[in-house]
Amino acid sequence: MLLHLPDILTPDEVHQTQTLLAEAPWSDGRTGAGDQARQVKNNEQLDHDCTQAQTIRALVLRALDRNPLFFSAALPKRIFPPRLNRYGGQSNYYGNHIDGSVRYLPGTGQRVRTDVSCTLFLADPDSYDGGELCIADTYGEQAIKLPAGHMVLYPGTSLHQVKPVTRGHRLACFFWIESMVRSDEQRRLLYELDMNLLALRQEYGDGAETTALTGVYHNLLRMWADT
């Protein structure tokens, strides 16, 4: 499931992140990447422990926690700590790749299976040219370039790339989720059921039918979830 989640960050939070990133100590994004990734990766990233990264990471996690649409779509079990990257100048692209299947949480050794990939856009789209996130989807390649504060969520199994940035800088926060429901198909069904239930309840209120369908949702989640 490829899904656009609007307004993850408020305008004030976007401004705060942009201010922090304007003075951030960027470094070569290929550091620590695997052999295959280094052949196609050419961007900059923030060190996980720098002040700006820690502040933005906490801000993003709070924003995700208050967003019910994110929870319904991802059904998160574990979230890999959000990281920050920048594309522009001589470090301006990331060629076709598939994210590693397992990541290790910094400092803990705990594993996170990358069921869901997320990119939260932090730069205003008219401030840079290029930089589209291109994801190979069931219906062909999708080119995504969202307003600052908006996020795209997509299967970690997807082949994807970031097109070269030819003007300005593309700023983004990226991270992965190990979902309680491993199957993308099952997550999609649960999400669609949840969204349609919400629409029915808003239009008609709660009744015997919506109560029964809510039970179906939770029984499916109980059947498929690994907590």
Interval 210-224: pLDDT, tens:
999 999 999 999 999
Summarize the confidence of residues 50-70 as an average pLDDT. Answer: 98
How much is the pLDDT for 32? Answer: 72
Helix axis angle for 51-65 and 11-22, nearest 10°, is 160
Residue 190 tokens, joined: 């649960």
- The answer to whether 67 and 8 are in contact (CB under 8 A) is yes
Kindly tell me the sign of the dihedral angle through the C-alpha atoms of 128, 91, 18, 58: positive
Give me the chain's average pLDDT, please: 96
Which fold does the domain 184-224 belong to in CATH?
DNA Excision Repair, Uvrb; Chain A (4.10.860)
- The answer to whether 185 and 89 are in contact (CB under 8 A) is no
pLDDT digits (tens, 9 = 90+) for 170-193: 999 999 999 999 999 999 999 999
Domain boundaries, the chain: 3-179, 184-224
Confidence of residue 34 (pLDDT cuts 50, 70, 90): confident
Residue 44 has pLDDT above 90, yes or no: yes
Confidence of residue 101 (pLDDT cuts 50, 70, 90): very high
Instruction: Using alpha carbons, select from 157, 161, 41 the residue that is nearest to residue 100.
Output: 157
Instruction: Using alpha carbons, select from 169, 158, 128 the residue that is nearest to residue 43.
Output: 169
Q: What are phi and psi of 165, to 5 degrees?
A: -90, 120
Amino acid making up residue 15: H
Summarize the confidence of residues 69-98 as an average pLDDT. Answer: 97
How much is the pLDDT for 33? Answer: 74
Summarize the confidence of residues 98-114 as an average pLDDT. Answer: 92
User: Percentage of the chain surpassing pLDDT 90?
Assistant: 92
Out of 34-38, 43-47, 66-70, 134-138, least confident range: 34-38
Q: Are strands 93-97 and 160-162 parallel, antiparallel or unpaired?
A: antiparallel
How much is the pLDDT for 108? Answer: 86
How much is the pLDDT for 147? Answer: 98
Residue 89 tokens, joined: 């100048």
Confidence of residue 139 (pLDDT cuts 50, 70, 90): confident
How much is the pLDDT for 82? Answer: 97
CATH number of the 3-179 domain = 2.60.120.620
Residue 41 has pLDDT above 90, yes or no: yes
**Rounded distance between C-alpha atoms, residue 217 and residue 22, angstroms:** 44
Instruction: Say whether 184-224 and 3-179 share the same fold.
Output: no
